Amino acid sequence: MNIVERFLKYVSFDTQSDENSGVTPSTSKQMVFAQYLKGELEALGLEDIELDEQGYLYATLPANTDKEVPTIGFIAHMDTSPDMTGANVNPRIVYNYDGSDIVLCEEENVVLAPSQFPELLDHQGEDLIVTDGKTLLGADDKAGIAEIVSAVVYLQQHPEIKHGKIRVGFNPDEEIGLGAHKFDVAKFGCEWAYTMDGGEVGELEFENFNAAAAKIQVKGRNVHPGYAKNKMVNAIRVANEFMNLLPENETPESTEGYEGFYHVVGVEGSVEEATISYIIRDHDRSKFEERKECIKAWGETINAKYGAGTVTVDLKDQYYNMRMQIEPVMHIIDTAFKAMEEAGVTPKVKAIRGGTDGAQLSFKGLPCPNIFAGGLNFHGRYEFVPVQSMEKAMMVVVKIAELVAKS
């Protein structure tokens, strides 16, 4: 089975996660895929294979050298995004892409066009795996899994490439922010690892957002609207007033690069009570803390006008920028950088405008930067992955293993 066949098999499994289930894995169908992967790893002859009851799968490719080599790991997640269905994925391959529009679904007029997705033109002459326009593809992150497993097979078939002990880990629920929560770092037993969960070819990421969630509760006072003067406090209007206090140019649609933001993700309510949900993001830790303080201060501004307790602010940190955990071990970035170059890939070091399992794992004691998996337009019907990008990612895994053994 080559990398394409492996990937196409993987995306036939519906592994969509569910942030509201309250269990791990959040959906039983993820465990179905995990059982399949366990069987595949067993058939390949890997060792120390373990699938725990929460859907975390671990395995070992034994070292083929007597030299003392650090144990390293490669990690990818099994779930797909709740944003769009991952059931009945029907992929096809556009061979030798010529730069024109790709009709995904003629009946619904779903077209993958360079005019809307100019990154397509970077992959002319390549073979693109696309959807039928009705589901996501699942390259996030089944491409990563296919690349890791294919790299293991490549190393088995090329014993002349010396490598140390390599651990692989496949986890559930990354898309709902819980992929690393129950990942057993001690059991994994690596000095460092890499998640294969990035996008475009060459991406190498060891910085991500600091992240928090804010829930703003607004208490109103409801009286008959005909007699409401100086009595009614309309929680919906107060919530709107709070929202207008936030800077309008510090939103996701107004920022890029290292610029942070406040993002309103939900509003609901009535005259009596209302709730606003935000996520807060910034790469800079001090600016991140300032943003949280601003949210609190805006709540106090509203309370000063309408009375104490009108607004309550509940803030919860979600994850932090992994850079502070990676900087003391920058040799792991140097290794990935060199591996890409040896695999014919131009490294593109960039900051993640989001989070990754690697960030949480880094703070659990497993330094874990992120490497490209090759897919683009994740979480929707326009998702695609070039075959050549997956092949390059696979070779980067191979080269990292080889370089670590040579160091």
pLDDT in tens, 19-76: 889 999 999 999 999 999 999 999 999 999 999 999 999 999 999 999 999 999 999 9
Q: In terms of DSSP bridges, do strands 273-282 and 261-269 run parallel, antiparallel, or are they unpaired?
A: antiparallel
pLDDT in tens, 279-316: 999 999 999 999 999 999 999 999 999 999 999 999 99
- What residue type is 283 in one-letter code? H
Averaged pLDDT, 238-254: 96
pLDDT at position 318 is 87
pLDDT in tens, 355-385: 788 999 999 999 999 999 999 999 999 999 9
Averaged pLDDT, 131-136: 96
175 vs 325: CA distance, rounded Å: 22
Query: What's the farthest any 2 CA atoms get from each other in the chain?
Result: 86
pLDDT at position 247 is 96
Instruction: Please report which confidence band the pLDDT of residue 401 belongs to, taking 50, 70 and 90 as the band edges.
Output: very high
| Annotated catalytic residue within 147, 174, 203, 357 | 174
Please, which residues have CB within 8 angstroms of residue 200's CB and are 6 or more apart in sequence? 119, 122, 348, 372, 374, 376, 389
DSSP state for residue 174 in the 8-state scheme:
G
Confirm if 390 and 148 have CB atoms less than 8 A apart.
no
pLDDT at position 350 is 87
Q: Where in the chain is the domain with CATH 3.30.70.360?
A: 210-319
Q: Where in the chain is the domain with CATH 3.40.630.10?
A: 3-208+322-406
Question: In whole numbers, what is the pLDDT of the chain averaged over residues?
Answer: 96
pLDDT at position 390 is 98
Burial label for 313, CB within 10 Å (0-12, 13-18, 19+), is: buried
The percent of residues above 70 in pLDDT, for the chain, comes to 100
**Half-sphere exposure of residue 196: CA atoms within 13 angstroms, side-chain side:** 34
78 vs 94: CA distance, rounded Å: 25
The question of whether 14 is a catalytic residue gets the answer no
Confirm if 339 and 403 have CB atoms less than 8 A apart.
yes
Confirm if 129 and 9 have CB atoms less than 8 A apart.
no
DSSP codes joined into one string, 81-141:
-TTS--TT---EEETT--SS-EEEETTTTEEE-TTT-GGGGGGTTS-EEE--SSS---HHH
Confirm if 96 and 127 have CB atoms less than 8 A apart.
yes
Superfamily of domain 3-208+322-406 in CATH is Zn peptidases (3.40.630.10)
The question of whether 79 is a catalytic residue gets the answer yes
| Annotated catalytic residue within 79, 205, 207, 357 | 79
* CATH 3.30.70.360 applies to domain 210-319: yes
pLDDT in tens, 95-116: 999 999 999 999 999 999 999 9
283 vs 380: CA distance, rounded Å: 26
What's the start-to-end Cα distance of the chain, in Å?
32
Q: What is the pTM of this model?
A: 0.88
Confirm if 338 and 349 have CB atoms less than 8 A apart.
no
Instruction: Please report which confidence band the pLDDT of residue 326 belongs to, taking 50, 70 and 90 as the band edges.
Output: very high
DSSP codes joined into one string, 194-229:
EEEEE-STTEEEEE--EEEEEEEEEE-B---GGG-T
